[in-house]
Each structure stands twice: as C-alpha cells, then as structure tokens.
Amino acid sequence: MAYHCVVLAKQVPDTQRITGQVMNDDGTVNRSALPAIFNPEDLNALELALQIKDRFGGRVTVVTMGLPGATRILRDSLYRGADDAILVTDRRCAASDTLATSYILSRAVKKLEADIVLCGRQAIDGDTAQVGPQLAEKLDLTQITYVEALEELEDRQITVRRNIGNGWQQVKTSLPVLLTVTGEANAPRVAAAKQLMKQKKARTRLEVAQEIQEINPDAVEAEREELTASRCATLESQDLLIKHWDLDDLEADLTWCGRNGSPTKVHRIQSVVLAAKESKDVEPTEEGITDMIHELIQDKIIA
C-alpha cells in the first residue's frame, strides 16, 4: 500500500549560531545576519516521510511557504529523496502570523490529496508549534502532535508513539492524518549523491527569470520572458522545474492572508541585555552559600 506524504517545511534563521550582529537595536532579529537553514524538526518530518516511502512505497511532496530564497530547502528536500517540491510565495503573504500561514498552507495541501501530512513540531525562529495543529483544524484532519516514532502503518491505519513530556502515549487512528514530528524521531539522512548531481539544476520559474536577467541585463523584457519560458519548458521536460504557487493559484481568500489575516499583534519587544558577567564564583563555605541564596531571593529568582 503506497501513501502520499506531504511535508511542510520552513526556512529559518539559524538561531543556534548566534553572533554579535544578530539583534537589531530594537530587539528584533536581523535575519540577514544569520544563515538560513532547513528548520531542524522539519528535517525529521521529511525523514519520517521518506522512511514511509522506503517501506511502503508512494510519494513525498515538500511544500514551503516563504521568500523565493526558500527554494534552497526545497532543493535540499529533493537531494534527500523527495519526489516533488512546491514553493508557495507571494508578496501578499508577507507579515502572515501562524493563523494566516496555516490558512495559506491549508489551501496548498488541499490541492495535493495527502494521506499523511507531516510537519516539524515547531520552528526554531518563532517556536510557536502552532502551524501544524492549526493546519489540521483547517483541513479537518486528525492530528497527532509530538510524534517520536512510527510504530505501525497498515490498511490505512497508523499507530505512532507521541511524547507527552513525562512519558509516551501510543495513538492509533485512520488516515488521513497530520503528524507533528519531534527531533527525537530519527536522524535525518543526508543528500543522496545521484539526486545532488541531478537536482542541483532544479529551479523555480522565479529563479530562472532572475538568472536570465543576470545573464542578459540588456535584453528587452519580451525577449527575457521568451528565454525564461523556453528554459522552464526544458527544465520541466527534465522533471527539474520546481513548482511555484501564488495566492491566485491557491484560490485563497485574501482577507485571510498576510497582514489582513493575521490577528497577532506584537505588543512590545524587550531587548534583554545581561549586564553582569555570566558566571560568578561562589565560595563553597557556609557564608558563600548564604550570600548566594540571599542574592537569589533579592533578585526574585527564588522565593
């Protein structure tokens, strides 16, 4: 029995590699100062999907919503063994919060007829863990969060183990289903050599247009469009054209997208700067310990 797995992935700033220039003065993240990476737990979701494909057959489609640059993680997905990749990008998606994002993504997933939708548990930039569950609600799918292992998959019945913090829980349900996958679920595979060799040429139409523009900066627009179209046709015939959907393709209701569709309002951003040194020596004496406890109480760290 083969299954169609749809994986939702996000390109995120690598918040695990913080350097000096990362914070703007107002306390927001300077995204350009951080390398953009594949959200780690989305890689675990992709790996689980690929394992399902390895064992049971079927297909894996990866969808990302983001700036055109997010195509990089789509190519990365193809390198690792995904069959199809789709970029959802549109200026009108800008400033979407988790509600708008999950709405837009739900429009995309609806077009794909998935048996199993897989998301990473959460992204390392926002750390909300909201998009997966919201998406399940919008798609009216059964959701199982915090998945750390696939136990069984047979006759469209899936059994998984989910982490519940102080232990685990075994859950069985029927497909279709949406899973959010944790970092403990598996160790993601690396790129496969032959896929790298082939898919390194995979491009979205946007990327092709930009490359044509760079090569022929003086050409008139019509000429560039023609070149782009012909290059895209070649790529498509080689199965190397990464699909690109905008909000029109998704027939999305614009009142639910972008700033309009995002009720989240940032009330205040606080930039917490630690002035003191990070460590402090405490003498292992009665006096030293008493002083430390006193200080912790004063700082309201312990009551």
Partner 1 sequence: MGNFYKDNDDIRFLFRHIDQGQLASMIEEGFRFAEEFDYAPANAEEAVQNYDLVLDALGELSADFIAPRAEDVDREGNTLNEDGSVTRAKGMTEALEKLAQAEVMGFTLPHRFGGLNFPNLMYSMATEMISRADASLMNVFGLQGIAETIDAFASEEIKQEYLPPFAAGKVTGAMVLTEPDAGSDLQVIKLKAFQDDKGNWFLNGVKRFITNGCGDVLLVLSRSEPDRAGGLGLSLFVCEPGPTVHIRRLEDKLGIHGSPTCEIFFDNTPCKLIGERKRGLAPYVATLMNGARIGIAAQSMGIAEAAYRIARDYAASREQFGVAIEKLPAVRDMLIDMKIALEAGRALLYDTSRVVDLAVGYNRQVESNPPEDKAELKALKNKARAYKRYAGLLTPMSKYFCSEMCNAVAYDAIQVLGGSGYMRDYASERHARDARITTIYEGTSQLQVVAAVRGVCSGTAEKYLADLVALQYAPEVKDLLETLAEGRELLRGAIEFTKERGNDYMDLYGRALTDIAMDLIMGYLLCGQASSKVQMDVAVAPGANKDNGETIPMTQRKAMIARRFVEKNAPKIKALTDLIRQGDKSTFSDYDALVGPVQEA
- Does 163 help bind partner 1 (rule: CB under 8 A)? no
Q: Of the two residues 169 and 238, which places its CB atom closer to partner 1 in the complex?
A: 238
Residue ranges in the chain assigned as alpha helix (H)? 40-56, 71-80, 98-110, 131-139, 193-199, 205-215, 221-237, 286-298
- Does 296 help bind partner 1 (rule: CB under 8 A)? no
Among 32, 155, 166, 193, binds partner 1 (CB under 8 A): 193
- Does 187 help bind partner 1 (rule: CB under 8 A)? yes
Min dist CB 93 to partner 1, Å, is 29
Cα(16)–Cα(20) distance, integer angstroms: 13
Q: By the 8 A CB rule, do 177 and 144 touch? A: yes
Cα(203)–Cα(184) distance, integer angstroms: 32
- Does 189 help bind partner 1 (rule: CB under 8 A)? yes
Closest of 60, 13, 68, 66 to residue 39, by C-alpha: 13
Cα(256)–Cα(250) distance, integer angstroms: 12
Mark residues 80-99: x for contact with partner 1 by CB under 8 A, - for none.
Answer: -x------------------
Q: Which residues pair with 144 in a beta bridge?
A: 179
| Dihedral sign (CA 106, 256, 39, 134) | negative
Closest of 157, 162, 160, 159 to residue 174, by C-alpha: 157
Min dist CB 234 to partner 1, Å, is 13
- Does 238 help bind partner 1 (rule: CB under 8 A)? yes
In the structure encoding, which two tokens stand for residue 7, read together?
Answer: 């994986």
Min dist CB 232 to partner 1, Å, is 17
Region binding partner 1 by CB under 8 A among candidate stretches 124-132, 192-200, 214-222, 285-293: 192-200
Min dist CB 216 to partner 1, Å, is 20
- Does 195 help bind partner 1 (rule: CB under 8 A)? yes
- Give first-to-last CA distance, the chain, whole Å: 58
- Does 191 help bind partner 1 (rule: CB under 8 A)? yes
- Does 198 help bind partner 1 (rule: CB under 8 A)? yes
- Does 149 help bind partner 1 (rule: CB under 8 A)? no
Min dist CB 75 to partner 1, Å, is 11
Min dist CB 197 to partner 1, Å, is 4
Find the helix packing angle between 40-56 and 71-80, rounded to 10°.
Answer: 30
Among 164, 190, 282, 289, binds partner 1 (CB under 8 A): 190
Interacting residues of 51 by C-beta distance below 8 A, sequence separation 6+: 150, 186
Cα(75)–Cα(158) distance, integer angstroms: 29
Min dist CB 85 to partner 1, Å, is 17
Cα(61)–Cα(240) distance, integer angstroms: 14
- Does 176 help bind partner 1 (rule: CB under 8 A)? no
- Does 220 help bind partner 1 (rule: CB under 8 A)? no
- Does 161 help bind partner 1 (rule: CB under 8 A)? no
- Does 196 help bind partner 1 (rule: CB under 8 A)? yes
Q: Of the two residues 194 and 268, which places its CB atom closer to partner 1 in the complex?
A: 194
- Does 231 help bind partner 1 (rule: CB under 8 A)? no
Residues of this chain that bind partner 1 (CB under 8 A): 79, 81, 187, 189-198, 200, 238
